[in-house]
Amino acid sequence: MEMNATLARSDPSVLIKMETAINAHDIDTFVNCFVNDFVSEQPVHPERNFTGVEQVRKNWTDLFAQVPDLCVELVAHTIAGDIGWSEWLWQGKHTNGTELNMRGVIVVGLRENTIAWARLYMEPVQSLPK
């Protein structure tokens, strides 16, 4: 019985906090998941790389405005030491009517359960012909 009480008091991983913040469109809680000198890399799209939590705030504030019904699912994740792996599904409709449907993996480096760096491998899901 005490084991359950201990588990209930445990902090959820930063990845779960991030999922909750995105789905609530809570930019402040979302940004608090990252260290100030956060480094973002997109190995498949290196022109999108950046450093700094203020760019995280700008990018996601814009995304919340452009996709007002944005909903994400943390499909699977694990954390071992200071490395986290997660699979994500991001969906919604842009204000211009086009669909957002992305899926992929994000690998993160952690510093005290806060994201210090991330490598994003998120890509649009291909629609099958009807």
Residue 36 main-chain phi, psi, to 5 deg: -60, -35
What is the C-alpha to C-alpha distance for residues 113 and 100, in angstroms, rounded to an integer? Answer: 29
CATH code assigned at 61: 3.10.450.50
d(CA 115, CA 2) in angstroms, rounded, equals: 31
Q: Which amino acid, 83?
A: I
Domain count, the chain: 1
109: helix, coil or strand? strand
Q: Is residue 43 in some structural domain? A: yes
The tens digit of pLDDT for each residue in 78-101 reads: 999 999 999 999 999 999 999 999
- The pTM is what? 0.87
pLDDT at 12: 65
pLDDT score, position 128 = 73
Full domain range(s) for residue 67 = 2-124
Is 118 within the bounds of a domain? yes
Q: Indicate the pLDDT class of residue 6, thresholds 50, 70 and 90.
A: very low
Residue 129 lies inside a defined structural domain of this protein: no
41 part of a folded domain: yes
Q: Are strands 83-93 and 99-111 parallel, antiparallel or unpaired?
A: antiparallel
Answer yes or no: is 80 within a domain. yes
